[in-house]
Amino acid sequence: MSRPLAVAGLGLLLCACGEDPELVRKRDQQRAEISKLEGELAVLQERLKDVPPDQSKDLAKLKADSEANRDEIAKLEAEVAGLEKEKANLEKEFAAYQRKYVVR
């Protein structure tokens, strides 16, 4: 038998026999479940619209900037310590100079 003829025969057989009440009940249950799930899906999609955007990229950038700032602070503190040491040495040299060349 050819395929279109077989499909037509099967369709005719189903129409002649009527629909099985159990299958009708299952189909109706499935349609009800589909409607319920579509409603839940609509609610979830609405909730997703209200979700704030992902902030992880901004957070990663802020962490990197924070780390760079800490490194810069450490570098500047080391530089300040070096300058304070140099200032103390210059003050000692100046005091020694003033002792050596007293202004009268």
**Least-confidence region, from 5-9, 36-40, 78-82:** 5-9
Q: Which residues have C-beta within 8 Å of that of residue 1, sequence separation ≥ 6?
A: 9
Regarding predicted confidence, which is higher, 89 or 6? 89
- Letter for the amino acid at 4? P
Give the Cα separation of 100 and 104 in Å (integer). Answer: 12
pLDDT tens digits along 3-24 = 555 555 555 555 545 678 999 9
Please state, rounded to an integer, the average pLDDT across all residues of the chain: 87
Regarding predicted confidence, which is higher, 14 or 94? 94
> Which value, in Å, is the radius of gyration of the alpha carbons in the chain?
43
Residue 61 sits at the vertex; the CA angle it makes with 60 and 64, to the nearest 5 degrees, is 85
